[in-house]
Amino acid sequence: MNFTILPCPRAGSLDSGRGAGGAFLRTSDFIKGKGLVSSGRFSGRSRRCYGRTASFVAIFVILTSIHGRDYTFHIKCGLDSELNGSVSRAERKSKFLYPTFHMPIEFKDILDVFKERDLLLPKLNVLVPDAHFYETFAIQPGGEIAARPDFIGHGNQIAARSQFSDFLRLAFEKDCDLVLSPEYSCPWEVLTNALAHQSLPRAGKIWMLGCEAITSSNLQAVISAHPDVVWIHEPIPDDTSGFLDVLAYVTKAEGRTDGMKNVIVLQFKTQPMGGDTFERDHLICGERIYIWHNPQDNIRLISLICSEALTFDPAAAVNCRFDLHPYLIFHPQLNEDPRHPEIRPYRDRLFGWRVSDRIEVLTLNWARGFTLPNRASSQYGGSAIYTKSPEFELSDTRLEANHQKGLFYSFWHAHRTDLCFFSFDQHVFHYRMPKTLQDVPAVLAQRTGPEMLSLWHWDAQTGTWRDAVNADDGFAQLCGSFQQQGCDYCSNAPHKAVDRERLLTLSAGKLRRARDWHTVRNMDSFKAEADERSKRLTFTHEQAQASDEFRRGYLRRYIKLQMTVLANPANFPPTIQDLVGDWSLQPPSTTDGFRFNLVSRSARVQGATAIFLGLESPDSVHRLMDDLLRAWDKPEETRRLVIWYESPIAILCLHPPLFSITNGIELPASITHSTTP
């Protein structure tokens, strides 16, 4: 097999130069290492930057044929930036770097392929820009993954077919607008059974199912066995080796002349996963990503299958026109690290745009604990909803209802984006959400964000998905790890998760120095890091070391405050002596302006603000006190503020002077009243 490498000039930065012999050798190794060709003769010239410290850069255009298709590839290669411009050929050969291999992608308007099949575009409810909700039914499966040169999917096929059969049964009954499953998850037998029994989405609905890997011949057999379905897909390679990674869009559409039809659009993954050679060596790559929209082209929908995120550049996807259309982006995955630095950048770019308030992303991964061959169990999860809904509802009631049903809020501060994580555990999620665009009078437009309606867990005894009372947020296990018997974490009703986070934030002195410190977006625990990492105190599924230590730092201070500082009456200063033996730590609330976390059990005396900082310098303690005195600028709001801290030999405290009503005593020690003789 012969192919040619051609130089691809870059205006203004590169100039013709002598070919670097090592470059062609290493490029050959790169191409062969990708399993694309077994032999070939290379020709063409490299291009080199001028300058003593400039990196060697070569850009090649490769023309070749893979799996019976013609491809044009662009590969950019370069040397380490620390090498200077006079490096030897041997150094070039040894130091040559090669980047991610980019497969070509065509963004295909779904209207064009429907026209080719004499079909009318369906009017999908999820893409209608009205003030109504759309409902989503999504499965986050778990278990062991099997991987062979012709297959990736469930290791336990019996359990998988049982779970997915019941999932599609419920999906048909619920009649949701979107039904979703992640990459490599839905067994083909389950889908074909649904076809045989006509248990399929109704008009205006769409199922988007990440299916188990399948060979070309087996996929052709599935298609041939269901001639009553209109199958839409790019040409299937006549290849006896490898497999296809398929996302199946299942919907209904009217024929131009012959009524309603069941339609299945198959989208093949276009980019193998990096960091591992298995998909590189066995995945048969597709070329198309379909752009869905309604006959009236408003909201659009695309799907990126897992590692397609590696090469997806929103700015370069000119056919998508993110500047003109609101978008819903579905990102199904089988991914041990969904926050990987090479996976998430497309979201950085999307939500860094001015138009990002009209973009929503839904990522759907497998549940934590899934296992790939010869790998440890995954710590993720990571399924999430990203949105900039301007009227996002952040009431305690909504946040708590979602929290109980496995949807946990964070604020992605770097991009001012609302980020709602799904429970990392195996569940089926049923939620509703306003449309990405609401083309209605302003008074009716309320994009309030997602609302979890129900949560389902798998009951192996009955072989069915059962309604779950509550999701496990992991907070009880975190508290239990400290083994502090008798410590009250306010874990039960009527306290909500946000109440507990306010209690821990105030008690640890981690609050923002502002009167509105208690609002969700002002608390550090609700702020996701730039890398999307959650630090929620009461949602502990994110086990990154920095997030775990963040939570434990809060809890260490809270536990010491409750179990050591307040347990000793000698630590109570005169300003709150009336609370000795009559105290309880409780979340601050609206009744006290979110200032008091130390309350009277008997309710006979006023509450107080109790903060413990641990081992801290006196200067830092005084700064915190001064900041809070300025923020809470009324004396009656701060007179019962106490900040405890540790020195190497004792527990010390700082508090405002004892409030007094006097006849001019300069340094009062108590509240006194003058009397008239």
* pLDDT (mean) for 125-136: 97
| Rounded percentage of the chain residues whose pLDDT exceeds 70 | 82
What type of residue sits at position 551?
R
Considering the domain architecture, whether residues 309 and 425 belong to the same structural domain is answered as yes
Average pLDDT, the chain: 85
The answer to the question of residue 233 being in a domain is yes
Q: 448 and 389 in contact (C-beta within 8 Å)?
A: yes
Q: 422 and 429 in contact (C-beta within 8 Å)?
A: yes
**For residue 207, what are the CA distances in angstroms to 179, 281, 320, 628?**
4, 30, 21, 53
Looking at residue 318, what is its pLDDT? 80
Looking at residue 659, what is its pLDDT? 59
**For residue 415, what are the CA distances in angstroms to 186, 214, 357, 377, 621?**
34, 38, 11, 31, 32
What type of residue sits at position 340?
H
DSSP-assigned letters across all residues of 506-545: HHTT---SSTTTTSGGGSGGGEEPTT-----SS------H
Which of 472, 506, 535 is at the close of a domain? 472
How long a stretch of residues is the chain?
A: 677
The answer to the question of residue 448 being in a domain is yes
Looking at residue 377, what is its pLDDT? 92
The answer to the question of residue 249 being in a domain is yes
Considering the domain architecture, whether residues 197 and 334 belong to the same structural domain is answered as yes
The answer to the question of residue 666 being in a domain is no
Considering the domain architecture, whether residues 430 and 511 belong to the same structural domain is answered as no
Query: Is a pLDDT exceeding 70 seen at residue 49?
Result: no
Count up the domains in the chain and report the number: 3
First CA to last CA across the chain, in angstroms? Answer: 114
Structural domain span for residue 63: 4-95
Considering the domain architecture, whether residues 401 and 528 belong to the same structural domain is answered as no
* pLDDT (mean) for 454-463: 96
The answer to the question of residue 257 being in a domain is yes
What type of residue sits at position 96?
F
Considering the domain architecture, whether residues 146 and 68 belong to the same structural domain is answered as no
Query: Is a pLDDT exceeding 60 seen at residue 25?
Result: no
Strand partners, 283: 243
Tell me the pLDDT tens digit for each residue of 207-228.
Answer: 999 999 999 999 999 999 999 9
pTM for this structure?
0.84
Considering the domain architecture, whether residues 159 and 304 belong to the same structural domain is answered as yes
Q: Which helix (H) or strand (E) holds 162?
A: helix 157-174
CA angle, 299 as apex, 330 and 364 as ends, to 5°? 10
* pLDDT (mean) for 271-291: 92
In the chain, what's the furthest Cα-to-Cα distance?
114
Considering the domain architecture, whether residues 465 and 498 belong to the same structural domain is answered as no
The answer to the question of residue 574 being in a domain is yes
Considering the domain architecture, whether residues 281 and 146 belong to the same structural domain is answered as yes
Considering the domain architecture, whether residues 448 and 496 belong to the same structural domain is answered as no
Which of 34, 68, 95 is at the close of a domain? 95
Per-residue tokens: 165? 């059969």
Looking at residue 660, what is its pLDDT? 56
The answer to the question of residue 676 being in a domain is no
Judged by DSSP in three states, 87 sits in coil
Per-residue tokens: 68? 């019976």
CATH number at residue 306: 3.60.110.10
Model confidence band, residue 625 (pLDDT cutoffs 50, 70, 90): very high
Print burial letters for 472-499: b (CB count within 10 Å at least 16), e (below 16): ebbbeebbeeeebeeeebbeeeebbbbb
Considering the domain architecture, whether residues 464 and 504 belong to the same structural domain is answered as no
Alpha-carbon distance 572 to 640, whole Å? 11
Considering the domain architecture, whether residues 450 and 560 belong to the same structural domain is answered as no
* pLDDT (mean) for 5-31: 35
Burial class from Cβ neighbours inside 10 Å (0-12, 13-18, 19+) for residue 343 reads buried
Q: How does DSSP classify residue 551?
A: H
Query: Is a pLDDT exceeding 80 seen at residue 524?
Result: yes
Tell me the pLDDT tens digit for each residue of 633-668.
Answer: 888 789 999 999 999 899 999 999 875 554 444 444
The answer to the question of residue 114 being in a domain is yes
Which of 40, 62, 95 is at the close of a domain? 95
SS3 assignment for 437-491: CCCCCHHHCCCCCCEEEEEEEEECCCCEEEECCCCCCCHHHHHHCCCCCCCCCCC
Query: Is a pLDDT exceeding 80 seen at residue 35?
Result: no
Considering the domain architecture, whether residues 512 and 419 belong to the same structural domain is answered as no
